[in-house]
Chains A and B, each alone.
Chain A
Amino acid sequence: MKVHTTGTTAPRRRALALGAVSVTAALVLSACGGGDAADNADSTDLASAGATTLTMWVDAERSPALTEVTAQFKEDTGIEIKLVTKDFEQVSDDFITQVPTGKGPDLIVGPHDWLGKFVLNGVVAPIELGDKAADFQESAVSAMTYEGSTYGVPYSIENIGLLRNTDLVPEPATTMDEVIANGQDAVATKGAEFPFLVGMDPKQGDPYHLYPLQTSMGVPVFGTDEDGGYDATKLELGSENGAAFAAKLKEWGESGAGILNSNISADIAKEKFNAGASPYFLTGPWNVPLAEEAGINVAVDPLPTTGDQPAQPFVGVNGFFISSKSQNSLAATEFALNYLTTEAVQDAMFEGGGRPPALTASFDKAAADPIVAAFGEIGANGVPMPAIPEMEAVWADWGGTELALIKGQGDPAESWATMVSNIEAKIAK
């Protein structure tokens, strides 16, 4: 292998060079033209331009469930819907950057907590559900509502619950103290390895999964305004019970009872629960099928309380959004309102993804499965994950502080107060 290579290797044939130039020229031209030249606002009316295609961005998991309804839509209206499978991690950022250029899709599938950012960047159009709103679960519609306008057609609701291995603990418990006692009992007498499992990120903690324990002590993240939306100016993390919850974290943590272990990542927790090493696993419906496959007898219990308030998990609602710059907004609205809201589609989405449907009729059918019903019941008690952009300022400090406490570092009251003032400073920026 020769190390010194210089870039100017002359191609043998002129044709090669020419080919390279034409490609390059194309790239130069398209790069120059790419940035903001694509704003062809007046050329894509369906009939005049002869185009009969809507584009929709979906992730790989949801794409199959939608093929049938898009085929139906094409048969009825002649409009083809192109499903473009995108990487879930990237899709919201791509949407925000591409919609203004006119190159974005007409529709996009995603969770409701993207909404705040979408609205902030002006990339989604409001959609009026009208009478159809009543067909959906209330929490699903309220999650899709941002500053008084509805922006999406919901299709699924998801939240965490407490999985219990019925072989190790036969009866459900209602408080965290009972859960811990049962767990420790299972460790002592039934050969379990861990009293309680929750998947943590060893570097960032996991406030999402611990949230119901926090809310049951009366410490929500944000307060709400008169419309019921979250109000970024009311950071409730700093309410008086915050320090008490922080103390609990330390008490449960590695320097205390060892119920919470920052080294147990989501994968390890799943593996241990499926191996029957723990009676409890605080997680979402997505981990149930694997546990059942592993031969665990799973029951889903209501979330245990720590304080005197209900244990409210974050509820995530997935839905369909319409781009604010869609040139085919009427067709997109037609599709979203009259096709995606049907029972058949919501059933298909449930079968494809396993997330409880947002349409009440579909949910009732799915709830024949006790697991779905149990998660649904817990979700009815939950709160929508805040979609306000300020939520981004919260995660890192919140997770970091919880992680430190679980590791037994720092004074609970002090570090919680520092966290609150840090978050307040970031939001104020």
Chain B
Amino acid sequence: MVDQLDTPVRSDIPAPKTKPRRSPDSTAGLLAKILLLGLTDAFAVYVLMALFMNEKWTILAVATAVTVLINWIYLRRGGLPAKYLAPGVLFLLVFQVFVVVYSGYIAFTNYGDGHNSTKDDAISSISMSAQKRIPDSPAYQVSVVEKGDVLSLLVTDPDGGVRIGTTGEPLADVDGAELGSTGKAVGAEGYRTLTFNELLGAQQEITAIQVPLGEDLDEGILQTADGSNAYVFKPVLVYDEAADTFTDTESGAVYTDGGEGSFITADGERLATGWKVGVGFENFERAFTDPDLRGPLVSVILWTFAFALGSVLLCFGLGLFLALTFNHPNLRGKKIYRTVMILPYAFPAFLAGLVWSGMLNQEFGFINASLFGGADIPWLTDPWLAKFSVLLVNTWLGFPYMFLVCTGALQSLPEDVNEAARMDGASAWRIFRSIKLPLLLVSTAPLLISTFAFNFNNFNVIFMLTGGGPRFSDTNMDIGATDLLITLVYKVAFGQGSGRDYGLASALAVIIFIIVAVISAVSFRQTKALEEVNS
């Protein structure tokens, strides 16, 4: 990045003498510069401090470098291109590069359901869930009292006895207990009772108090979650910090860190809550070796290409045809027609998918019931018809865009070329094929490529219209005839039983990214040839 910004640029452009407009050196410009840079820096300092407190050293270093760089770019004289480039480059880094790099990183982890956070989180959450109330044990009323810095629980037994205890010190008798109106002990000699607000101030410490019921830990531990009631708990799993293991208090089974982001016994018994770890190429391997995926993957890839290509051709064909028609100089009411044509474009795609899904209902849908006089055509449930329906709806959704683009491009074509051709006696078709279309393609080809890329990943239409169905019968997975790669990723990663698997999803997404990137690169190279028509 620095290299790019650092390129020597002629900096000292003499200021134009004619108009004292708001140049960089005018007072207002300078003030605006100071103000905005000040705001940026203030925010940066806040973020840097937060990062420092949380000891995120790498990110801190990067953030500091970025802040310094921004200041350097805007404070020094000259370097105009850098000043214009900086925002663009930063946006690119944040919205493109960061996302791609982060997805790439996730693809090499086991991030997903059950592997959601750090190991510390997993340990604390397992310990928390492992505390089970001893069945039918009584509830104790408690008050939180303080002596010195130590918080203790003043406990009133269900039968009225009052005792006190704190973490590590079992319940013991207490002197001078002061009882409230309900018979609950609210104070004791030598102790200060915490008010409700003080309780709120010390929430973490209070919920962490664990008072042993007696000398024998097996009797259980008193714990309170609200500062006024306590229950007897006994852990079913105990964490041993030194050995980094959980032990089952009943069976004695020992769960150790298996290296794959969860605690596991020697016989493969696993604690459900795990944490995120790197897994290398495992996710990519699964994408290519899972027997349930391999088979359908080929037909899904073929259909994805067919769908994306078909969508582009149909949308472009229809859009171009209509654009040509409505571009005829003698046509009246062009504006109205054009407005009507653009309507589908104004529809949100997922909504349109749902509406069409209703209209294509085999028995009650508008298409069968009204247009085909009550015919029984399985639009969405026959594999080939479903494919056809998906293409049809996507064309309906997509042609207005192409219509707009083509209309614009047509109108910018020079009229004299047309006329010259006509003078030479060329037919309308010949003019279209040899002059208009090539000129049109120069400007629309990049859009066709991006439309292809978009439809390659057109999740909305498929998901809302057919849900990927009808299902293939030769796989265990919920994959069907109209599934694109992207819906397949969604289903495989988020709906197949083992819960969501962001790692696998990212790995598949990276694969799709590579496919689309390669196609786009090749196509853009090809379109260069088109541009030569122009020069």
Report which A residues bind B (CB closer than 8 A): 1-4, 7-8, 10-11, 13-15, 17-22, 24-33, 36-40, 45-48, 52, 77-79, 93, 96-97, 99-100, 117, 119-123, 125-128, 130-131, 147-149, 202-204, 261, 263-265, 267-268, 324-325, 327-331, 333-334, 337-338, 389-390, 392-394, 396-397, 400, 407, 422-423, 425-427, 429
Contact = CB atoms under 8 A, between A and B. Distances in A.
B362 interface: yes
Interface in B454-486: 466-467, 469, 471, 476, 478
A121 B363 CA distance: 43
A400 B471 contact: yes
A122 B273 contact: yes
23 contacts: A1-B408, A3-B409, A15-B36, A21-B40, A22-B37, A27-B91, A31-B98, A32-B59, A33-B47, A33-B51, A33-B59, A37-B56, A38-B54, A45-B203, A47-B198, A96-B113, A120-B113, A122-B273, A263-B364, A327-B203, A329-B207, A393-B498, A394-B497
B106 to A, nearest CB: 11
Interface string B225-256: 11101010000100000000000000000000
A46 B203 contact: yes
Contacts of B496: 392-393, 396, 426, 429
Interface string B127-160: 0110111000001000000000000000000000
Contact of A263 (B88, B129, B206, B362): B362
Contacts of B436: none
A33 B56 contact: yes
B115 to A, nearest CB: 8
Contacts of A99: 117
Given A25-B70, A123-B125, A149-B129, 6 more contacts: A1-B408, A18-B74, A45-B201, A100-B121, A329-B204, A426-B497
B63 interface: yes
Contact of A21 (B74, B203, B404, B469): B74
Contacts of B206: 330
Contact of B497 (A2, A39, A117, A427): A427
B87 A204 contact: no
Contact of A29 (B44, B117, B469): B44
A139 to B, nearest CB: 19
Given A33-B56, A122-B122, A77 B200 contact: yes
Contact of A330 (B36, B83, B128, B203): B203
Contact of B88 (A1, A7, A119, A267): A7
Contact of B478 (A25, A32, A77, A397): A397
A162 B116 CA distance: 41
A331 B203 contact: yes
The 4 A-B pairs at the shortest CB distance, nearest first, are namely: A393-B497, A47-B201, A122-B125, A1-B408
A422 B499 CA distance: 16
A203 B380 contact: yes
B44 A14 contact: no
A168 B443 CA distance: 65
Given A46-B201, A392-B499, A14 B33 contact: yes
Contacts of B129: 119, 122, 126, 147, 149
B342 to A, nearest CB: 12
Interface in B483-525: 495-500
Contact of A37 (B40, B59, B67): B59
A131 B66 contact: no
Interface string B348-378: 0000000001100111100000000000000
Interface in B43-95: 43-44, 47-48, 50-51, 53-54, 56, 59, 62-63, 66-67, 70, 74, 83-84, 86-88, 90-91, 93-94
A126 B53 CA distance: 30
A2 B36 contact: no
A392 B498 CA distance: 8
Nearest to B360: A202
Contacts of B94: 24, 27-28, 31
Contact of A202 (B113, B196, B361): B361
Contact of A79 (B47, B200, B358): B200
Contacts of A125: 128
Contacts of A128: 133, 225, 229, 231
A32 B139 contact: no
Contacts of A17: 83-84, 86-87
A320 to B, nearest CB: 14
Contacts of A202: 357, 361-362, 380-381
A170 B283 CA distance: 60
B473 to A, nearest CB: 9
Nearest to B24: A14
B118 interface: yes
Contacts of A38: 54
A141 to B, nearest CB: 13
A25 B66 contact: yes
B39 interface: yes
A28 B231 contact: no
B476 A29 contact: no
A117 B488 CA distance: 22
B444 interface: yes
Contacts of A2: 408, 412
A21 B66 CA distance: 11
A8 B80 CA distance: 14
Contacts of B426: none
A125 to B, nearest CB: 6
Contact of A392 (B33, B409, B495): B495
A78 B197 contact: yes
